[in-house]
Amino acid sequence: MIEPRLDHFIRAMPKVELHVHLGGALPIETALADVERIAEDFLTRQARQNIRYTEFTWTAWAHFVRAGWRFDDQLAALAAARAWAKKELGIGSGIVIDIPRTVSAEDGKQVAQWAIAGMEAGVVGLGLAGPEAGNPPERYADAFARAWDAGLPCVPHAGETVGPESIWSALKAARAQRIGHGIHALDDPALANELARRRIALEVCPTSNLRLAGVARLADHPLPALIKAGLVVTLNSDDPALFDTTLTDEFLKCAEAFRWTDADCERLALNAAEAALLPPAERAELADDIRAGCAKLRRAGH
């Protein structure tokens, strides 16, 4: 059982979340007008956890194919929700548009073009998600090249259910700025050294890994070993509704399982701030906000 002081600290501490999917399981009958409301509800729940900034992934291609929603209309709904949340809740956010791994290379290029076109409206990254096995990042190398040429960072999922070769591919084919999951990074010492040297952050999602990636128990999760090896680790919830978790829950579970201190929790929050797809000055301001908030909690005895 986690001690009450640390429990309070985790719940109250300012946080950043980088790997969380919005609307991946929306039913086809969902109306486009509902997307803004759904995004507002999501950002409200993020703000209640004292999350100061969040990047959420949106699979625009799925909604284009399933429901015929134009990307411009999808983006407008998300942008409106972001603006509302910033004004009313004080939470900043960015959109990661992801390529589903099951689409063709040509469709991947279309997704990249959408993401590039959305950069002025809050799109901060191009992702890659879906089943890793048999769907390597190399298939979408041209899409990632277009994003990089436009100044849009790439943040693919890799090393979740496939080994280190998937992460190497993400580094080479996508020039990944962050790695979604990356829990198999330690399977290759050379890869671990490369990730640590370049400070490429891993977006680790423990509960998701327990449900999907064959980690039998939280105690068996490689998260502590990743931290010990000097990798930049961030904590995330992945699909909160699907896995019945939140970022706060992830901190609480991990703090209990791995005997974290408040300083350990602050370090992971700072890692996320420093890995956010924001201009350097805004990243520094976000990190300062986390330090100040944690210091205030300590002064108050929490």
- Residues with catalytic annotation? 160
- As a whole number of Å, the end-to-end CA separation of the chain is 17
Q: C-alpha angle 163/164/168, rounded to 5°? A: 135
Contact 17, 293 (CB under 8 A): no
In angstroms, what CA-CA distances link 40 with 34, 102, 135, 201?
A: 10, 29, 33, 27
Q: Which residues pair with 180 in a beta bridge?
A: 157, 203
Q: Tell me, what amino acid is at 135?
A: N
Helix axes of 105-117 and 71-88: crossing angle, nearest 10 degrees:
40
3 Cα distance to chain centroid:
28
In whole angstroms, what is the distance from residue 232 CA to residue 275 CA? 9
Query: Three-class SS string for 268-294?
Result: HHHHHHHHCCCCHHHHHHHHHHHHHHH
- Edge-to-edge order in the sheet of strand 233-235: 15-21, 51-58, 92-100, 123-129, 154-158, 178-181, 201-204, 233-235
